[in-house]
Structure 1
């Protein structure tokens, strides 16, 4: 009725608390050409990545939703969403770890801001197992600094890295897996053993990583039980779900079937010509239609290069630090022009 009476494009409502309902009215399709607001509510480990259809900003908050799953078919906008995520995290005090089994074509251009990168399953296995060892070391630090004496108030007892004093707090780590299916597929017995170790390490990081400040961002074109044992166990730990256009209903069901069944129909109805449109949901059962602003690879590279000095060096991940050439101090002309002669 409101939309019809006032000529609005859309009206959305949500209950803030008992007896209080928020109504948002939009006069046009804000997702047609995304314009992010100049001021956003950015906090540590909380970055704006997209715009909701009601005009509000969609944030990726790792402290509230530690691990996420992002699905999308080819040319659906999944890579642009990932670039926005990396560009949003680049100015923060966080270590970025990437696994890109497409020989690094998606993440290696952003290498200056990454503390560790792997471009094949063998290196990915070593990197994930190093992360598990790093996580165990962080837990030992938390145990040593828990401060559980009688004189310490209950609210100050340390149970994760965010309860530690700032001078002792380890740097949080965000792990981005560009194509999870490449880690789960195998064609021989040796590859199957490697695959089992990779999935086991991912499940351990998903189950235990939050308190140690290790957060997962799993991306893929397809995510289903046919990827083998351990995949559904991994999915159960990935609270945040985002689905761009998918090629089959099964993938949408894997994303939302267990948390927001209504979102499955919305996900499979995304038209092919609207790249970047996605459905975002979480374990509360709610979901929204979102779209990330179009960010080119060059724009993301520029942001990562600008904040390259914020890249932390973690001893456990030192063997996987990407080797990059130093940035030039100033632009130099490619050729020297000669004066014209008569």
Structure 2
């Protein structure tokens, strides 16, 4: 029962963690200790019967038990792995307050990006569903009804052509609908795992693989910015990011580490050498890299990247939606023309 309550509390915490990180930073900046802050937060959550009480209690017990006073370790498992890694580094550098502040801002910005992705997918999914339903519907119901009135061999040319196209597309869409669970599972699996030439080819297309790359690029920059602010060397920073990354990101970071052996004097060229950065972001990095102290601006670069990617995603969904609306309108017009032609032919035959 306790594990279930902790699981539910963890889900609630992750939705609110930016504000909680900010609250931790506020207390630590004013002389609070991790143990004291957690004890107060847990006591307040119990008094208010908050849904976050189990997670605060778990942190406090872990901090005094197996975590041996290490806050990052006490929070491990309830926070995302990347954030755990950053907090651990912040704690090692006696900069927990700064670590929480950095994460609070980063989580809010990343959440904005994530909401933009979800909105874009939702705005595209609705017209795609309507289009698929329209094609399947006319193939299964409309043209059989016309055929009951007028044999297909006597249909006007445009009606027969539309019927053939609708039948073929209907078969394809029906197959896709049946295979959709498998396709979605394969796509989801491949997002964080597929690498190599096949992945690079997919990222040249205006598909969600490209948007996923841009999203991961921003997360990479956020992690790198924090590590550089903590005075972690470029190589050590990349090695740390590699240790907490998905297979897809590991392939990029390993390539960067390999390039670092050849271009140790130009970290900017190393970062943009693998194709992780889209051209305009790569140009931005290259422009900054002309200056010896450019890495002090990594947070600013990451925030600019977030703005660029978020803006593109917000434009992507409505643009595709408008194109699909035009396609749906065109299909309806063609169906109406084919229907009118069939009706005129039927009426002529009756006369």
Q: Which has the higher contact order (CA 8 A, sep 6+)?
A: 1
Q: Whose helix proportion is higher, 1 or 2?
A: 2
Q: Whose strand proportion is higher, 1 or 2?
A: 1
Larger Rg: 2
Q: TM-score, normalised by structure 2?
A: 0.22
